[in-house]
Structure 1
């Protein structure tokens, strides 16, 4: 808002309650807010605040924490039972890091550090009452045509905002497995992300960056508050983080200590006085089996070892704020790491926190875990973001292999042969149909774009001209490349999975180019991958991009 008058238009019919045991501060708050709110109610401790809350319709709560009779945190817990969406501003001292972390966990989204100015107070109020602003805006736009225009405008803004956010986010392991050579052993890892923004402007950002062949950085952040302010702050900080990595990799002088420090000091300088950023930054060195973590009030990181032991690594820092002076980074040995879960509070919420550890322990892959989450959480009310790291290791119950020439006729016949084989193995009819759809799409993809090296632009042009099949048949006569298909059945975490590996002898492709087209369902590029993604539990490529692996949970009949 540009002026105090604009803020008053929103608050003039609202009631604010100020809870503070210091008479001078309480008097200051009352005087400052009387011209802004219709009613200013004051209380001198938490119990007094609860009593007056139940007697009045409160739109905004501003409270200190350290008070006699009942402190602010305990009062907020009681009030949240009745009014869980009430905007709350907590006044606290710079050193109250434990209080800040507890306040975040119970839903406080705005903080004011003592001593504060009236401008800082008004800025915090403006951010905290965005829910009230939304309701007021709805009342202002009642005419049908204006509502239609607003809906169209919001859809456009959502598309532009999401596109911008996806451009800022970077994932060097998009649809790829990570192959690690450690001494004489090799291990394969999946580092998967589930990202579902709840609002037009999401407060969650992430990045997954490959620093070296055996070193990665994972970043996940959740800006406190919602709307444009939180989005911009997180977007700028994430952009800086990725720029720093790109610059260091280009110069071949990446230094993790410098990187952690640059991230922290840039973030705290960029944030305004009433902002806070929750974030977790990890540096994983698979060669040294080392995990370094700086967690700024994000949910605990869950780790399962090869012995199926659960480790819970809690936050080791308060949220990043402008007045923060330093941060802590802890180091852990991950030699026995089996899988890891890093998530925002959209997953680690009060409805699901009692189940998350058990569901994580019993989930073999990302989709299994997410399925359990959705079964227990019907309507998530926040951004859903989690990163699921999993070591790929299993002993197959059986293996079936095929090898065909890169001929259209052979591609079509092998799909039929695989379908017959799955029927002979006693698979369910619906399950077989889904598998065959996925295998058909990806085998055709290997034939067209791998073996024959046809671009998607060529394909679209030839289809429009009605010459595509003729072109395929002519081109396949000029090449002598094969396609291999391997099928395996294995058990993992008490679930059966079928694995299809489809390998061609082409040059492969960079999976990162799929990213843009996956965001727009109207684009025809990579249509097969879009279809398969909705059928299987996991889909990923090797580093060269000429082998695709499909995993799907199944049951034997």
Structure 2
């Protein structure tokens, strides 16, 4: 179907709510240059009345307004409209305003006095987001109508296949930080990008009864239904073996046992002319060892602790119906900071200037402090258009508990949360390594994480109870008037890796911890709570849980780092 260019800001209507006449006269001409139409209101009540008349695409409002504040107006807007972006202007953003703004759905903050370049840039970004979202919604609606008219049965079969694939392809270690024998924490991340439902890639990450991890990656030859069946059957075998051979795992399970059984199984399902590229990784963090069996995967990239990168090539040809002797590889994880494995959809991707991504993958890996940062470099380099199926598996050292730049242990109170966030941001601004937009994102993330640690951890406030308090308007009063039980604690720790371009934040608390499921729940736009954890997930490169969920580790990369240094 034809694609149309999203409408620019010049085709939108902005509602500008500002009580200060001087500010209105200074800013209004600039806004009128950006937008097709600018509606002006001088207080919150007038602004709400104008919004309810309809036709507003974006709201820009001051916080301090007579009669009704900007946040109070936003709360009233959200009663009937959860989608229209609201940008809040204020000269005094404190923690109370931040938390309330998150709960009522404010999209962005603009500091006062105005920086016109910042104001213009952020409004253009938001306008582009509006246009993109509306375009996607139109295209989705067109696709639904076309599918209904052409083949509704085919759509049902596709959805069933997608559900089956999600049931087989799994990562049991998602968002979980795992300790090793030396007091360090490790994390496993997998990024899975199937081109369509009939995907030749598949993977599974499973924890064995003895604590070891088994990671399996499959990349079946070809594309379409045949490759998808092969990949899913191969992955299903790994899941079945782990689930039903628990006694064997405890009493001496080894990679040769699994791969030997896998060879017997695969020889019966592969066609004579069919092959499978795949990799088995058995991770023993207690012993800091990794056993691997690699079959025609692209070379593994291993970053050692001094920052240098080594390649580890597959020792076996791709699996086929007559695969013979198999070689295995053992790695000592004590000297390794990170390991990356990919399928050939990554390495074979075409670069925009010609050539294949394998030519620059090692360079990008060396300069990327997180898997998310590596994916960003990938998207910048590759040619536009549809890519092949892609899977990336990363095992990385997260660091030890004492490897921090600074630590703050505030009192477990509502005021303590605000003090911890404020002190953290003062120290980060003093580092002079982060730009304003990134600092805004970090402040949002820290505010929500610290508030959640206090509410959920120290006070034991569950999601259902918080929703009740928000709906009846007593949330702030309960939070400020509550006293944490004896022994409760809060903590914030920050690790700054300047050369690598990586910030790691840890927020810890007593009480019940979070689980990975908290970050996997889809939160509707109309929900009154629950959006904070989703915001943390979207703003951070990686998130991990340690100490039974009482310690939230958040990682964020920033420009200016240089792993190659």
Give yes or no for contact 1:223–1:231 (8 Å, CA) kept in 2. yes
Q: TM-score, normalised by structure 2?
A: 0.63
Aligned residue in 2 for 1:188: 185
State the secondary structure of the residue aligned to 1:436.
helix
Superposed CA offset, 1:483-541 (max 9, x none): 111223223xx333332210000132332x24642699998885333212222222212
**1:429 and 1:333, CA in 2 relative to 1: closer, same or farther beyond 3 A?**
closer
Give yes or no for contact 1:245–1:254 (8 Å, CA) kept in 2. no
Cα drift, residue 297 of structure 1: 1.9
Aligned residue in 2 for 1:362: 367
Question: Which deviates more, 273-282 or 321-330?
Answer: 321-330
* Matched length: 410
1:375-524 equivalent positions in 2, closer than 5 A? 375-379=380-384, 380-393=386-399, 399-426=405-432, 427-460=434-467, 463-464=470-471, 468-469=475-476, 472=479, 476=483, 481-491=488-498, 494-511=499-516, 513-514=517-518, 516-517=520-521
Aligned residue in 2 for 1:95: none
In 1: Cα distance, 2:551 partner to 2:512 partner: 10
Question: Which deviates more, 401-410 or 338-347?
Answer: 401-410
Aligned residue in 1 for 2:114: none
In 2: Cα distance, 1:155 partner to 1:463 partner: 40
In 1: Cα distance, 2:266 partner to 2:473 partner: 55
State the secondary structure of the residue aligned to 1:364.
coil
Cα drift, residue 435 of structure 1: 0.4
Superposed CA offset, 1:316-349 (max 9, x none): 3333233435533333445432321100111111
In 2: Cα distance, 1:168 partner to 1:226 partner: 18
Q: 1:198 aligns with which of 184, 195, 198?
A: 195
In 2: Cα distance, 1:409 partner to 1:521 partner: 29
In 2: Cα distance, 1:412 partner to 1:265 partner: 60
Aligned residue in 1 for 2:239: 242
CA RMSD in angstroms comes to 3.7
**1:143 and 1:355, CA in 2 relative to 1: closer, same or farther beyond 3 A?**
closer
1:199-218 equivalent positions in 2, closer than 5 A? 199-211=196-208, 215-218=212-215
Superposed CA offset, 1:102-127 (max 9, x none): xxxxxxxxxxxxxxxxxxxxxxxxxx
In 2: Cα distance, 1:395 partner to 1:476 partner: 28
In 2: Cα distance, 1:253 partner to 1:520 partner: 46
**1:394 and 1:546, CA in 2 relative to 1: closer, same or farther beyond 3 A?**
closer
Superposed CA offset, 1:153-201 (max 9, x none): 77766655444323323323211222111xxx43332322222222123
In 2: Cα distance, 1:260 partner to 1:466 partner: 59
**1:155 and 1:364, CA in 2 relative to 1: closer, same or farther beyond 3 A?**
farther
Aligned residue in 1 for 2:65: none
Q: Say whether 1:344 aligns with 2:343.
A: yes
In 2: Cα distance, 1:396 partner to 1:413 partner: 22
Q: TM-score, normalised by structure 1?
A: 0.64
1:21-170 equivalent positions in 2, closer than 5 A? 147-150=147-150, 160-170=160-170
In 1: Cα distance, 2:266 partner to 2:471 partner: 50
Aligned residue in 2 for 1:222: 219
State the secondary structure of the residue aligned to 1:346.
helix
Aligned residue in 2 for 1:53: none
In 2: Cα distance, 1:171 partner to 1:326 partner: 30
Give yes or no for contact 1:306–1:338 (8 Å, CA) kept in 2. yes
State the secondary structure of the residue aligned to 2:281.
strand
Cα drift, residue 147 of structure 1: 4.4
Aligned residue in 1 for 2:57: none
Give yes or no for contact 2:458–2:489 (8 Å, CA) kept in 1. yes
In 2: Cα distance, 1:507 partner to 1:473 partner: 20
Aligned residue in 1 for 2:179: 179
Cα drift, residue 212 of structure 1: 6.3
Give yes or no for contact 1:396–1:490 (8 Å, CA) kept in 2. no
Superposed CA offset, 1:283-332 (max 9, x none): 23345454322222222212233344543222233332334355333334
Give yes or no for contact 1:177–1:541 (8 Å, CA) kept in 2. yes
In 2: Cα distance, 1:552 partner to 1:376 partner: 21
Q: Say whether 1:285 aligns with 2:281.
A: no
Give yes or no for contact 1:394–1:490 (8 Å, CA) kept in 2. no
Aligned residue in 2 for 1:118: none
**1:314 and 1:372, CA in 2 relative to 1: closer, same or farther beyond 3 A?**
same
State the secondary structure of the residue aligned to 2:297.
coil
Give yes or no for contact 2:185–2:400 (8 Å, CA) kept in 1. no
Superposed CA offset, 1:414-447 (max 9, x none): 4344334433443422121010011112112212
**1:501 and 1:330, CA in 2 relative to 1: closer, same or farther beyond 3 A?**
closer
State the secondary structure of the residue aligned to 1:320.
coil
Cα drift, residue 479 of structure 1: 6.3
**1:476 and 1:207, CA in 2 relative to 1: closer, same or farther beyond 3 A?**
farther
Segments of 5+ residues of structure 1 without an aligned counterpart are 1-141
Cα drift, residue 278 of structure 1: 1.8
In 1: Cα distance, 2:425 partner to 2:253 partner: 52
In 1: Cα distance, 2:473 partner to 2:281 partner: 51
State the secondary structure of the residue aligned to 2:258.
helix
In 2: Cα distance, 1:555 partner to 1:544 partner: 32
In 2: Cα distance, 1:340 partner to 1:354 partner: 18
State the secondary structure of the residue aligned to 2:359.
coil
